[in-house]
Chains A and B, each alone.
Chain A
């Protein structure tokens, strides 16, 4: 039973990480949104699995929230934003695809190195997934700094949030519900603020390319 639990959690965590890596290989915004949607759904699955095997009722609620907010609501909003700026969907990152994939590989290795003492000290059956969550955090940070379009940076930020949520679920079987709800609200608010920002950027500069932001208004 324990080993099945550990297997399932590691499997799902690696799926979550792989959906993060998909960003580096795909180029179009709809593909980004798709990857994020699937990642959130798998993350909800992780929460449900940990809730089932770890006997934490609250995690079911978290799983439902994850599914509804990040698996359905935010992707829909992202899709709407994307449709509004269709001419902008071709992406040109600062780092080319092959290099960024290799950098991501190194970042995941670094995540393993960083989490090694934590994993060694932990007794939880979920410990094997924690380095993967750390890897996702690092990879999504890299996505945020290496993409040019504001919309893809937003997706990177949302994935970063997913990584932190995964780390919390795996490391502590979920933080107290009230904190979790606060984090959710924060993420949603942050997303809405960013959405407004993206609209404003687009209105003022006629582009979402953040490289153009150092120009004065024309």
Chain B
């Protein structure tokens, strides 16, 4: 019973935290660029505003366009439900493992690309084609990086990977782990549309990817998509934080352990947010034709991660 409650609380925490994370990232970037910046809770106001607005849909759009926001949001929520945010093992461990998480995320991406193509606008089609190019290249890297983790833990189950790394702290410093972390970090930047690959700060730029796909959306549909993409960013941060540096995650469901878990989760998210904000301030956007090179570099890192966890055991 407690386990189910904790599970629900985790999911609620993730859903409420997601817009705040995006706001914090924007605020950090603004401070680093010597601007005052909107407060970190600004995305909550934006979501409320969007939910209250009228929806305008192109007359060429089919049911896919209307269904896509719900599919994208549902996929993101399902992924959030599977992750070990605060405590292991979670009751949903039996439902899905790392592979399910990755492919649920891809399902969301796929429907977003379909929705970009559906109304037949030039920008949407362009964004979808770019997004698919990038996810096709990022996909094998994610799978390989995860296999490197799974090989170390002997299981693809998220809860077990976390528990295994906690009992064997040396494994967190093994080259397989570090290389997989680097590979997954690059993929995270690509999948969530962060800077060297896509610029999250613009709405009208010929090189945009994510924004081009959602350009036709408005009102509550746009709100759902924005929330889902914030949740996706949070999910990737939590994957990086809790799978690779699992300390702080509660093993027993006591109030003290759970409070510690919440605190450590917030610290990990803050560290990752600062890292991404600094990176985004320092680097320029890559030319689209150099993105495959970056992604193949991260693929090689993931390949080495698998090799070293498989052969150097």
Contacts and interface: CB of A to CB of B under 8 A. Distances in A.
Nearest to B310: A112
A105 B303 CA distance: 7
Interface of B: 170, 173-175, 178-179, 290, 292-294, 296-297, 299-301, 303-304, 307-308, 311-312
Given A10-B312, A14-B179, A128-B312, A105 B300 contact: yes
A98 interface: yes
Contact of A101 (B170, B174, B178, B296): B296
- Which label, helix, strand, loop or mixed, suits the secondary structure of the B interface? helix
5 contacts: A3-B170, A11-B173, A11-B174, A14-B175, A102-B296
A7 B174 contact: yes
Interface in A114-172: 116, 128, 131-132
Q: Which 9 A-B residue pairings sit nearest by Cβ, starting from the closest? A: A14-B175, A105-B300, A97-B293, A98-B296, A128-B312, A105-B303, A101-B296, A101-B300, A25-B297
A43 interface: no
A21 interface: yes
A2 to B, nearest CB: 12
Nearest to B313: A128
Contacts of B293: 25, 97-98, 101
A49 to B, nearest CB: 14
Given A25-B294, A101-B300, 19 more contacts: A4-B170, A7-B173, A10-B174, A11-B174, A14-B179, A14-B304, A14-B308, A18-B301, A97-B293, A98-B292, A98-B293, A101-B293, A102-B296, A102-B299, A105-B299, A108-B307, A112-B307, A116-B311, A132-B175
Contact of B175 (A11, A24, A25): A11
A198 interface: no
Contacts of B292: 98
A104 interface: yes
A105 B175 contact: no
Contacts of A18: 179, 301
Nearest to B170: A7
B14 to A, nearest CB: 33
Interface of A is mostly: helix
Nearest to A98: B296
A128 B303 CA distance: 17
A109 interface: yes
A105 B304 contact: yes
A131 B170 contact: no
A10 B304 CA distance: 13
Contacts of A101: 293, 296-297, 299-300
A11 B178 contact: yes
